Structure 1
Amino acid sequence: MAELAINPNSRIPALTDVDKNGKEIQIFESGAILEYLVAQYDKDHKVLYPYNSPEYWETVSWLTWQMAGVGPMQGQANHFARFAGEQVPYALNCYVHETRRLYRVLAITWPRAPRATSSATASPSPTLPYSPGGLLSIDEFPHVKKWLYTLLVCPGFEEGCNAPGPHRYLNMNDMSEEELNSIAASLGTWIIDAMKRDAEA
Structure 2
Amino acid sequence: MATIPPEKAPKPGLNIYGFASVNPYKLSIAAEELSITYNYISVDMSKGENFSEWFASINPNGRMPALIHVKEDGTSVTVFESGACLLYIASEFDKEYKISYPVGTPGYWTQLSWLSWQIAGYGPAMGQACYFNRYAPQPEPFGARRYTAESRRLNHVLDKQLSTSPFIAGDRLTVADIAIFIFAYSATWAGVNINEFPHVKAWLDKLVQRPGFQKGLQIPVPYMFSDEAVCNPDAQEPYNNMRKYAAQMIKGTTDKWAADVVPVPSDHANY
Establish whether TM, by shorter chain, passes 0.5.
yes
Q: Deviations over 1:121-153 (max 9, x none)?
A: 111112213345684211111111110111112
Contact preservation (8 Å) 1:129, 1:137: no
Higher alpha-carbon Rg: 2
Find out whether 1:121 has 2:180 as its counterpart.
no
Paired letter, 1:78: C
5+ unaligned residues in a row in structure 2: which ranges?
Answer: 1-51, 258-271
The amino acid across from 1:191 in the alignment is A
- Where in structure 2 are the equivalents of 1:17-56 lying within 5 Å? 17-19=69-71, 21-56=73-108
| CA spacing shift, 1:131–1:179, aligned 2, 3 Å | farther
Tell me the equivalent position of 1:80: 132
Structure 2 residue aligned with 1:64, among 95, 116, 128? 116
In 1: Cα distance, 2:186 partner to 2:86 partner: 22
Checking the alignment, whether the CA contact within 8 Å between 1:81 and 1:132 is kept in structure 2 is no
1:150 lines up with 2:244 in the alignment: no
Gaps of 5+ in 1: none
Post-superposition shift, 1:199?
6.1
Give the match's secondary structure for 1:106.
helix
Q: C-alpha separation between the residues in 1 aligned to 2:118 and 2:182?
A: 11
Deviations 1:96-138 (A, max 9, x none): 0000000000101123342342100111112213345684211
Q: Which has the higher mean CA deviation after the structures are superposed, 96-105 or 191-200?
A: 191-200
Q: Which has the higher contact order (CA 8 A, sep 6+)?
A: 2
Given that 2:129 and 2:190 are in contact with CA atoms closer than 8 Å, whether structure 1 keeps it comes out as no
Identity %: 33
Name the residue aligned to 2:158.
106
Aligned length: 199
The question of 1:186 aligning with 2:241 is answered yes
SS in 1 for 2:78: strand
More helix by share: 1
Q: RMSD across aligned C-alpha pairs, in angstroms? A: 2.3
Give the conservation status (yes or no) of the 8 Å contact 2:130–2:191. no
Q: In the alignment, is the contact (CA less than 8 A) between 2:155 and 2:197 conserved in 1?
A: yes
Amino acid at match of 2:231: D
Equivalent residue, structure 2, for 1:167: 223
Decide which moves more: 162-171 or 57-66.
162-171
Whole-angstrom distance in 2 between the partners of 1:199 and 1:165: 31
Given the two structures, how large is their TM-score scaled by the length of structure 2? 0.67
Q: CA deviation at 1:184?
A: 4.3
Normalising by structure 1, we get a TM-score of 0.88
More moved, 104-113 vs 131-140: 131-140
What secondary structure sits across from 2:96 in the alignment?
coil
Using the alignment, how far apart are the partners of 1:29 and 1:75 within structure 2? 15
1:22 alignment partner AA: G
Segment of structure 1 superposing worse, 9-18 or 113-122? 113-122
* Structure 2 Cα separation of the partners of residues 144 and 184 of structure 1: 26
